[in-house]
Amino acid sequence: MKTYAYGFPRLGKNREYKKSLEDFWQGNISEKGLKEAVSGIDQQRQNFYKQFVDIFPSGEMTLYDNILDTAVMFGVCPFENLQEYFEYARGRNALEMMKFFGTNYHYLVPVIPKGFKFNLAYNKLLEYKKNLSGNNPAYFIGPFTFLKLSRVKGGFNSLLDSLCRQYKNAFGRLKKQGVKFFHIDEPAFVLDLTKSEINLITKVYKKYFLPFKQNIYLFTYYESVSWLKDLFSLPSAAIGLDFVSDSQNLKTLQKTGFPKDKILVAGIINGRIPDRADILERVDFLKRLESVKGLSRENIYISNAMPLFHIPVTLDNEKSLTPAKKKYLSFAAEKLYELSLLKDVLSGRRAKEAGKWAGTAKKQRQSLSSDNKTFNTLSLREDYFTKRRKLQDKFLGLPLFPSTTIGSFPQDKELRQMRLKFRKNKIPAAVYNKFIEKKISSLIELQEKMGLDVFVHGEFERSDMVEFFAQKLGGIITTDRGWVISYGSRVYRPPIIIGPIKRKKPLTLKEILYAQSLTSRPVKGIFTGPVTILAWSYNLRRNEDSKVAFELAGALNQEARDLVKKGIKIIQIDEPAIKERMPLKEKKRKSYFSWAVRAFNLTAKLPDKIQVHTHMCYSEFSDIIFWIMKMNFDVITIEASRSRGGITAAFKKVKFSRQIGPGVWDIHSKYPAEEEVMREIMKKSVRIFGKDKVWVNPDCGLKTRGWEEVIISLRKIVDLAKTLRTRYGR
């Protein structure tokens, strides 16, 4: 039995990756400097691997994103120097970003024209993949996954054929240079694939990869594969399966067996959640695997169940966590340690160490038993919203086309510095609080001056829309340096849910009520919704996603009720992540949405005259609109400017009769809102929804923008609202 690990985070122990990239972008280091720095970080990664595991891929490192690199390798994204390479990632015409299989990692989406002829431009790639050595498999994103993640206009089958031919060339060239094995990641194999897609995969794999049958290690992860029999027929020496995300792979193997001439790389350590493994329980699990027909200790390797880059580098970095809390946790380096421990325990060594390590993890089952329960969503008939509308109109007295913003305002340098000083105890709480109050009061003044209709307090007290709440709620812990890459050099620290969620004290009351005390206009009581808090945290309470969501909903509903009691008339529950946690396979989605919608509705349970808003910002509603309609809100604000309002089509289809605020200003762009685009979106929306249903607002929060541009664009928003009122006025 051997240990195999892959996907170790590239961020570096001290976020060196982020620093190097940003240094290069700011012109502080040269191309050579950047490459050296990054290969140094790769060395550090490899040392982690070497310390604990037998096999790991080489060539996993990238200067930005591995999907982009694959596009580079096969001639889709040519470039001459690194400036040009980074144009694809962050230039004016940068590639679109998308979530990688419902995780919080964003990849760059290559665009592949119909009939494109791939070619092997891999010398460029080799520069970054110098460490390809004979014994370590060379790392690749698989051809099917690459194409599935790309924007392909048509001719998928022939593109896949042409692409595989080039993979074959790459393997051939590397083999000549002494590379013995190829690690191929095909997470797209776990999606709901059609019979013809499976046939296509089988056909091209056999057509091109048969000569490398003994060299290929083929990996699937994030869920189980529903066509194992065909998967086993593909040319490969080893197959990686995920035994953590669900229990289907094991069940199928127990029925069908495993080909005894192949190696099973058994993914049994969770790479997505930093929970500590109960080693002895994992040993039991392996014994069950060994009893599958065709499997024995000889042809099982043990591994992480999915890449490790979803979790932070090492627990060693955490100084504030108590030892008792640390006992729940295991970051990427510790996961490698778990693999080594597991291997030794299996051969009769280190049993005592394993017992000690398990700590609190003990008795928590590692495998998820699929939680397929469907909940009642508490949803109400559409005419209920008409009734609410009447009450709310009277209560709020808003004009047609009310103008508003989504919540946050610029988090400028001064604010970030004050927050840092406060966190490091360099300024007293009273000084910091006064500073935040000052920010709020000048924002209220600004909104009065500009003439917006519904105000916000600016969210200056929040560093991050999830971490802020996690720090105040019981049952969730946060880390000092548990950073994870979300894309490029962007990092965030996911909070960790470890116990029952409790609202120990008010979360938002102080700032929001202060803001409301300064104006007669309604100030929205804005907070992050239960599904998004859960989606952007790690949940260590296994099989309890729905339960945690309901607990969060209870806490947040209490907050909303307190706000309302103190005079807040509009509550906004942000749920930008509701689609993110959606399971990859269709048949699991109903259960997911049933608890997600129910959690939202529990949060939103308020007197009818209180207007409930929700905000979501991603660009595809068509496949989830059915569930969105079950959510109990009166107004929804969405991102719409990039699609010029096209995104509202999904709402049109279901004859949406509540109120909607399609964003008219793309806040991810450096450029101010464009009048023409704004008008186009509004025109479309009025036509679809009617003049009494449309709000005017930006796509999303403004925290990453500068004050100057914000003022320019908000002025345009207010002007637009006024023009619309004159034009369509009652």
Give the residue numbers marked as catalytic: 668
265 three-class SS: strand
406 near ligand GLN (CB under 6 A):
yes
61 near ligand GLN (CB under 6 A):
no
R_g of the chain computed on alpha carbons: 26
From 496, 700, 710, 720, residue interacting with ligand GLN (rule: CB under 6 A): 700
**CB of 389 vs ligand GLN, minimal distance in Å:** 23
Q: Interface with ligand GLN by CB under 6 A: which range of 373-381, 401-409, 486-494, 594-602?
A: 401-409
Neighbours of 255 (CB within 10 A): 10
Which one, 300 or 526, has the nearer CB to ligand GLN? 526
Q: Is the dihedral of CA 126, 121, 141, 481 positive or negative?
A: positive
From 617, 636, 660, 721, residue interacting with Zn ion (rule: CB under 5 A): 617
Q: What 8-state DSSP symbol labels residue 646?
A: G
Edge-to-edge, what's the strand order for the sheet holding 659-662?
A: 524-528, 570-574, 611-616, 635-638, 659-662
**CB of 437 vs ligand GLN, minimal distance in Å:** 19
Cβ neighbors of 330 (< 8 A, separation 6 or more) are: 274, 275, 276, 277, 315, 337, 338
Q: Interface with Zn ion by CB under 5 A: which range of 144-152, 160-168, 269-277, 613-621?
A: 613-621
Name the CA dihedral angle for 123, 125, 129, 133, rounded to a multiple of 10 degrees: -50
| Calpha distance 483→491 (Å, rounded) | 6
- How far lies 348's CA from each of 265, 280, 283, 342, 414, in Å? 21, 12, 11, 10, 58
Q: Taking each helix axis from N to C terminus, what angle separates 332-346 and 279-290, rounded to the nearest 10 degrees? A: 60
270 near ligand GLN (CB under 6 A):
no
| Among 291, 287, 276, 268, CA closest to 221 | 268
576 near ligand GLN (CB under 6 A):
yes
Q: Interface with ligand GLN by CB under 6 A: which range of 65-73, 95-103, 324-332, 695-703?
A: 695-703
Token reading at 336 = 């490698």
Q: Interface with Zn ion by CB under 5 A: which range of 101-109, 283-291, 609-617, 682-690?
A: 609-617
Which residues inside 601-620 make contact with ligand GLN, applying CB under 6 A?
Answer: 615, 617
Which residues inside 674-703 make contact with Zn ion, applying CB under 5 A?
Answer: 700
573 near Zn ion (CB under 5 A):
no
Which residues inside 641-660 make contact with ligand GLN, applying CB under 6 A?
Answer: none
Q: Interface with Zn ion by CB under 5 A: which range of 78-86, 328-336, 570-578, 640-648?
A: 570-578
Residue count, binding to Zn ion (CB under 5 A): 3
Q: Which residue is nearest to ligand GLN (CB)?
A: 701
Token reading at 671 = 């450029």
From 408, 516, 594, 632, residue interacting with ligand GLN (rule: CB under 6 A): 408
Which one, 358 or 678, has the nearer CB to Zn ion? 678
Residue count, binding to ligand GLN (CB under 6 A): 13
**CB of 621 vs ligand GLN, minimal distance in Å:** 15
Strands (E), 577-646: 611-616, 635-638
Cβ neighbors of 142 (< 8 A, separation 6 or more) are: 184, 185, 186, 188, 218
**CB of 532 vs ligand GLN, minimal distance in Å:** 8
443 near ligand GLN (CB under 6 A):
no
Q: Interface with ligand GLN by CB under 6 A: which range of 164-172, 375-383, 673-681, 697-705?
A: 697-705
**CB of 303 vs ligand GLN, minimal distance in Å:** 34
- How far lies 498's CA from each of 121, 361, 538, in Å? 47, 11, 9
526 near ligand GLN (CB under 6 A):
yes
Which one, 170 or 570, has the nearer CB to Zn ion? 570
| Calpha distance 278→340 (Å, rounded) | 13
**CB of 418 vs ligand GLN, minimal distance in Å:** 19
Q: What 8-state DSSP symbol labels residue 422?
A: H
| Calpha distance 429→433 (Å, rounded) | 6
| Among 233, 238, 228, CA closest to 185 | 238
From 242, 574, 634, 699, residue interacting with ligand GLN (rule: CB under 6 A): 574
Which one, 9 or 525, has the nearer CB to ligand GLN? 525
Which residues inside 448-467 make contact with ligand GLN, applying CB under 6 A?
Answer: 459, 465
Name the CA dihedral angle for 547, 497, 273, 482, rounded to a multiple of 10 degrees: 160
Q: Which does 526 bind (CB under 5 to 8 A by kind): ligand GLN, Zn ion, none?
A: ligand GLN
Q: Report the interface residues with Zn ion, using CB under 5 A.
A: 576, 617, 700
Q: Report the interface residues with ligand GLN, using CB under 6 A.
A: 406-408, 459, 465, 526, 574, 576, 615, 617, 700-701, 703
